């Protein structure tokens, strides 16, 4: 408490007390505070698109000479210089603004070139003492011509220095880099745009001042975010460009991929503006733990500097990846909304501006900057011309000039005598006096006259710009085009009119248990069809290996893989890749290798795939030594089990399914003997049974093919002969097709009947197949081969050739 002086009386003190309304004082004080926040901190200027702290950082860094061709300096040095000279609001605020201008994921065209850890979408930057900074190339366009009287300078906070009230800004920075800020009673939130598009709109506005918003939106269709992504719905963008306020949705860029042969996944390569991967992952984990999001088994962040953002979301088997992706858009930040609020300072007053107003204010400012710069350059050129003309006068009689100066008593006398004798101005006389004598003698009249002509031409051009408003506008437009060419980059954000109908309304989240086919190719590729329509045998067919087995099941059903060592291995159809709708003979080029589902040891080969339905058909097996076995339908719960006990050296060569028991079991041996007998003649055995005699195999021979054939259907027998001495794939031979009905039924355990007559040099069958027609062979390179016409089995006819048969297409179950 202040002490009362003895010279003051109570009456004098009472006379100095002024009664003030507290409410009015609070109102005035708050108003002053609000104006200070609006002008000095939160809102950008419509002309250069910068807040005061950003403008001061760029100006101070420019004054320090930290250009792009110079080395980086500690960020704390830049922060200290800005705080000490221009912005006394604390180093934290200054450094935060500097960091933002250096982040490529925040600014579409960064203004600061940062070196070190300037943060990420999920983490903050390192301290200013650990990072370094300098001006980015684009910042040079913001500060260009700052020393040519292009803008007004104002005193700094302590009236010791001058600082620019606005930067010259060679491009519309407010639209290009956007801005966000909260003031007292006002807020601004503007998205970044593409530099080339914005400058194109500005140039169009210069040429056509009365153009419509639609004309400008042909150049600027929407924001262009630094990290790309997708903008869904353009109605809100047009509202923002018209009124200054609007909303649009941003979506991550994602695609469905096969993460492994057995799993599908969602790969995210771009996220919405200012959304980091950790934020997305954390939200996913929360939703999965709360059972609000289903179908996700794992999330991996594989982002690195070389490949950029890569977020891999594994989808559980049985769930539709498209529907899961739609749920992610709905429940996580993978889809976000951005509210546009174009508030900026126009002549010190906050205003909400549309696209045309933003461009109009910038264009008017830029025209004024170029006009002031032109006037400055004109004055400078005129001053230089005035000095050159003085030198030209003096150099005509250089000896007299020297004598006049030497004979003068002082500088003032010399100046006066030069002005009087040679009719020079005071500036010209001073320029001659300031020159060293040795420099003056080096001037030549020719050089000075050349310099005079250059200055006169420059003055004429500058005066033409100032005297012709259209030429001034063309100059501004041309400079904008040069900036766009120098700093422009292609658009990164994709604009979509709408997202279309949600996937979840068209497809269920979980894959339905619809009927389908599971296919196995001769090279071990597995796949399933999208429906259970009959597999077409005709139509366009791509080069691929032949389908050797096809079984009808459901999308959530199971199939069994029969191997050459007599094992049955369980495979879930849901894990198999789905083929597109079939337009012809199926191609398994999109299938997955068998090794992704089963691990077969060396020497064990896949034979066929069969149904594992509890009420499904029975299984018939045939071995290389002529053993046949029908297996009962009981199945263990294990992943794999034995279906036949093989003798040493024996292997399974074929497997088929018996549906009614009226089918035939067919053996074809390597010495061209065919045996068919009724499936009912073979009694089913348990899994440990070793089978019974099927066909009698001669010494040195083996079974070339075994299968189940429906005698009620039109079937053929296809055999291909060759030589055992030839290298595989090189043996000459013949292909023969015979109607299956030509072969009589024989008793089980017999040798069957002759199916193929060998020609000279042939002694074995390299391939045999029995099944329903039509059928095609697959030759080398996957090319389909037309089979010969089916003739009688005794006529010996066939087609000779050197094609290597790899399988028969279009099998039927």
∠ CA 498-501-503, rounded to 5°:
120
193-212 average pLDDT score: 96
- Please check whether the domain covering 38-169 is classified as CATH 3.30.2350.10: no
Question: What's the whole-number mean pLDDT along residues 406-413?
Answer: 88
Please state, in angstroms and rounded to a whole number, the distance separating the CA atoms of residues 354 and 357.
Answer: 5
**Is the CB of residue 472 less than 8 Å from the CB of residue 183?**
no
462 — pLDDT class (breaks 50, 70, 90): very high
The half-sphere exposure of 479 on its side-chain side, counting CA atoms within 13 A, is 19
List the structure tokens of 245. Answer: 């306020």
Q: What is the pLDDT of residue 85?
A: 95
What is the predicted pLDDT for the residue at 805?
Answer: 40
pLDDT for residue 257 is more than 70: yes
What's the pLDDT at 118? 96
Average pLDDT, stretch 60-77? Answer: 95
Strands 606-611 and 525-528: unpaired
Distance, in Å, from the CA atom of 607 to the CA atom of 616, rounded to the nearest integer, reads: 19
Question: What CATH number matches the domain at 515-808, 2.120.10.90, 3.40.50.1370, 2.170.260.10, 3.40.50.300?
Answer: 2.120.10.90
Is 253:219 a contact under the CB 8 Å cutoff?
A: no
| pLDDT on residue 176 | 97
Query: Are the C-beta atoms of 785 and 805 separated by less than 8 Å?
Result: yes
Q: Domain extents for the chain?
A: 38-169, 253-333, 370-487, 515-808
Give the burial class of 93: count Cβ atoms within 10 A of its Cβ; 0-12 exposed, 13-18 middle, 19 or more buried.
middle
List phi, psi (to 5°) of 187.
-145, 150
Question: pLDDT tens, 754-807?
Answer: 998 888 888 888 889 898 875 666 665 556 666 777 776 655 444 444 343 434
Separation of alpha carbons 686 and 694, rounded Å: 17
Q: Which residue has the higher pLDDT, 579 or 370?
A: 370
Tokens of residue 80, six digits: 């200290």
Neighbouring residues of 196: CB distance < 8 A, sequence distance ≥ 6? 484, 488, 489
Q: Which residue has the higher pLDDT, 542 or 144?
A: 144
Residue 537 scores a pLDDT above 70: no
Task: Decide the pairing of beta strands 558-563 and 567-572.
Answer: antiparallel
pTM value surpassing 0.85 = no
- Residue 633 Cα to chain centre, angstroms: 51
Q: How far is CA 616 from the centre of its chain?
A: 47
Average pLDDT of the residues in 497-508: 51
Share of the chain above pLDDT 90, in %: 52
Closest CA to 560 of 571, 576, 549: 571
Matching CATH number, 253-333, of 3.40.50.1370, 3.30.1360.40, 3.40.50.300, 3.90.230.10: 3.30.1360.40
Residue position matching structure tokens 């769930």: 319
Name the nearest CA neighbour of 706 among 638, 623, 616, 635: 623
Question: 478-482, 584-588, 672-676, 695-699: which has the minimum mean pLDDT?
Answer: 584-588
**Res 636: pLDDT:** 82
Q: Cβ atoms within 10 A of the Cβ of 580, count?
A: 10
What is the per-residue burial (b if ≥16 Cβ within 10 Å, else e) of 419-453?
eeebebeeebbbbbeeeeeeeeeebeeeebeebbe
What is the model's pLDDT at position 12?
Answer: 60
pLDDT at res. 141? 96
- In this predicted model, which residue has the larger pLDDT, 365 or 399? 365
Q: What band does 809 get if pLDDT is binned at 50, 70 and 90?
A: very low
Higher pLDDT, 334 or 89: 334
pLDDT band with cut points at 50, 70 and 90 for residue 35: low
What confidence tens digit (pLDDT) does each residue in 108-161 have? 999 999 999 999 988 999 999 999 999 999 999 999 999 999 999 999 999 999
Is pLDDT of 813 > 50? no
The pairing of beta strand 245-251 with beta strand 230-232: antiparallel
* Residues belonging to the active site: 130
Q: What is the rounded average pLDDT of the residues 672-700?
A: 91
Q: In the predicted model, is pLDDT for residue 73 greater than 80?
A: yes
**Cα separations (Å) of 779 from 311, 355, 730, 733, 783?**
43, 65, 12, 13, 5
User: What does the pLDDT read at residue 583?
Assistant: 58
State residue 807's pLDDT score. 41
Tell whether the model's pLDDT for residue 274 goes beyond 50.
yes
The dihedrals phi and psi of 560, each to the nearest 5 degrees, come to -115, 140
- CB half-sphere exposure, 232, CA atoms < 13 A: 16
Smallest CA-to-CA distance from 430 within 416, 420, 441, 443 is with 416
C-beta separation of 256 from 266 below 8 A: yes
> Which has the higher per-residue pLDDT, 139 or 303?
139
772: buried, middle or exposed (CB in 10 Å: 19+, 13-18, 0-12)?
middle
Among 109-123, 253-267, 530-544, 761-775, the range scoring the smallest mean pLDDT is 530-544
- pLDDT for 660: 83
pLDDT at residue 28, as a whole number: 67
- What is the reported pLDDT for 213? 95
Per-residue pLDDT of 415-436, as tens digits, reads: 998 898 888 899 988 988 887 6
pLDDT tens profile 478-500: 999 999 999 999 999 999 886 54
**CA angle, residues 602, 606, 608, in degrees to nearest 5:** 170
Q: What is the CATH number assigned to the segment(s) 370-487? A: 1.10.268.10
- Using CA atoms, how far residue 23 sits from 17, 26, 31, 37, 416, in Å, is 18, 5, 12, 21, 70
Q: Give the pLDDT band of residue 506 (cuts 50, 70, 90).
A: very low
**Taking all residues of the chain, what is their mean pLDDT, rounded to a whole number?**
85
3-state secondary structure of 212: coil
Alpha carbons 477 and 200: distance in angstroms, whole number: 9
Strand partners, 155: 162
**For residues 64 and 81, what is the distance between their CA atoms, to the nearest angstrom?**
9
Angle at 784 between CA 783 and CA 790, to 5 degrees: 150
Q: At a CB cut-off of 8 Å and minimum separation 6, what does 670 contact?
A: 701, 702, 703, 704, 764, 765
β-pairing, 73-74 vs 112-115, is: unpaired
C-alpha span between 504 and 507 (Å, rounded): 5
H helices present in 332-425, as ranges: 355-395, 398-407, 411-422
Please determine, for residue 632, whether its predicted confidence score (pLDDT) is greater than 70. Answer: yes
Nearest residue to 655 (alpha-carbon basis) of 618, 698, 701, 685: 618
Return d(Cα 170, Cα 163) in angstroms, integer: 18
Q: Which residues contact 664 (CB under 8 A, 6 or more apart)?
A: 676, 677, 678, 679, 708, 709, 710, 711, 745
The single-letter DSSP state of residue 588 is G
**Two tokens, residue 12:** 């004098």
């Amino acid at each position: 408490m202040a002490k009362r002086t003895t010279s003051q009386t109570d009456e004098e003190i009472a006379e100095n007390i002024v009664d003030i309304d507290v409410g009015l004082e609070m109102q005035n004080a708050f108003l002053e505070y609000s104006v200070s926040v609006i002008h000095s901190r939160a809102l950008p200027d419509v002309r250069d698109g910068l807040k005061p702290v950003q403008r001061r950082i760029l100006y101070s860094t420019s004054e320090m000479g930290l250009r792009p061709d110079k080395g980086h300096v500690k960020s704390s040095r830049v922060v200290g210089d800005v705080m000490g000279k221009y912005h006394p609001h604390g180093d934290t605020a200054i450094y935060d603004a500097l960091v933002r201008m250096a982040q490529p994921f925040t600014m579409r065209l960064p203004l600061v070139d940062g070196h070190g850890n300037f943060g990420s979408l999920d983490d903050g930057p390192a301290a200013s003492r650990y990072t370094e900074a300098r001006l980015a190339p684009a910042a040079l366009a913001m500060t260009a011509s700052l020393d040519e009287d292009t803008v007004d300078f104002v005193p700094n906070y302590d009236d010791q220095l001058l600082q620019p009230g606005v930067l010259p800004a060679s491009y519309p920075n407010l639209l290009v880099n956007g801005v966000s800020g909260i003031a007292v009673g006002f807020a601004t939130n503007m998205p970044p745009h593409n530099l080339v598009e914005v400058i194109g709109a500005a140039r169009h506005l210069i040429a056509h001042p009365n153009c419509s918003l639609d004309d400008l939106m042909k150049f600027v269709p929407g924001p262009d975010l630094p990290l790309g992504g997708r903008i869904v719905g353009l109605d809100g963008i047009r509202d923002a460009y018209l009124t200054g306020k609007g909303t649009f949705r941003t979506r991550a860029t994602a695609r469905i991929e096969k993460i492994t042969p057995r799993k599908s996944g969602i790969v995210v390569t771009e996220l919405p503006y200012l959304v980091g991967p950790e934020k997305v992952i954390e939200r996913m984990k929360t939703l999965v733990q709360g059972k609000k999001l289903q179908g996700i088994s794992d999330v991996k962040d594989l982002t690195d500097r070389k490949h950029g953002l890569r977020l891999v979301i594994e989808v559980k088997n049985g769930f539709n990846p498209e529907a899961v992706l739609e749920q992610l858009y709905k429940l996580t930040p993978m889809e976000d909304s951005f509210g546009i609020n174009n508030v900026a300072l126009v002549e010190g007053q906050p205003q909400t501006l549309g696209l045309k107003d933003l461009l109009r204010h910038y264009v008017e400012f830029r025209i004024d900057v170029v006009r002031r710069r032109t006037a400055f350059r004109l004055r400078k050129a005129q001053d230089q011309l005035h000095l050159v003309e003085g030198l030209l006068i003096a150099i005509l009689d250089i000896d007299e000039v020297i004598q006049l100066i030497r004979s003068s008593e002082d500088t003032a006398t010399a100046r006066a005598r030069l002005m009087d004798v040679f009719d020079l101005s005071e500036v010209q006389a001073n320029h001659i006096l300031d020159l060293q004598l040795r420099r003056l003698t080096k001037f030549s009249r020719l050089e000075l006259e050349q310099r005079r002509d250059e200055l006169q031409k420059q003055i004429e051009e500058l005066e033409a710009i100032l005297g012709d408003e259209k030429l001034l506008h063309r100059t501004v437009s041309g400079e904008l085009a040069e900036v766009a060419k120098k700093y422009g980059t292609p658009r990164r954000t994709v604009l979509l009119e709408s997202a279309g109908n949600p996937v979840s309304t068209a497809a269920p989240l979980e894959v339905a248990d619809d009927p389908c086919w599971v296919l196995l190719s001769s090279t071990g590729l597995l796949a399933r069809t999208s429906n259970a329509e009959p597999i077409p045998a005709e139509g366009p067919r791509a080069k691929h290996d032949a389908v050797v087995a096809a079984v009808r099941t459901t999308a959530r059903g199971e199939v069994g893989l029969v191997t050459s060592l007599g094992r049955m291995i369980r495979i879930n159809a849901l894990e198999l890749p789905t083929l597109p709708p079939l337009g012809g003979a199926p191609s398994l080029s999109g299938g997955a290798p068998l090794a992704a589902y089963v691990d077969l040891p060396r020497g064990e080969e896949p034979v066929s795939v069969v149904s594992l339905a509890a009420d499904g058909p029975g299984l018939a097996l045939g071995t290389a030594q002529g053993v046949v076995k029908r297996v009962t339908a009981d199945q263990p719960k294990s992943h794999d089990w034995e279906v036949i006990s093989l003798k040493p050296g024996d292997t399974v060569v074929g497997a088929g399914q018996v549906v009614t028991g009226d089918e035939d079991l067919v053996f074809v041996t390597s010495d061209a003997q065919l045996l068919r007998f009724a499936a009912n003649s073979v009694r089913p055995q348990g899994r440990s049974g070793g089978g019974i005699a099927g066909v009698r195999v001669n010494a040195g021979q083996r079974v070339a093919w075994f299968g189940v054939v429906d005698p009620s259907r039109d079937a053929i027998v296809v055999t291909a002969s060759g030589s055992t001495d030839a290298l595989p794939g090189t043996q000459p031979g013949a292909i023969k097709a015979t109607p299956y009905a030509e072969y009589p039924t024989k008793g089980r355990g017999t040798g069957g009947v002759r199916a193929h007559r060998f020609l000279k040099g042939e002694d074995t069958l390299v391939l045999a197949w029995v099944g329903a027609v039509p059928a095609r062979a697959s030759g080398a390179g996957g090319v389909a081969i037309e089979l010969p016409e089916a003739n009688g089995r005794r006529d010996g006819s066939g087609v000779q050739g050197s094609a290597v048969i790899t399988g028969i297409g279009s099998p039927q179950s």
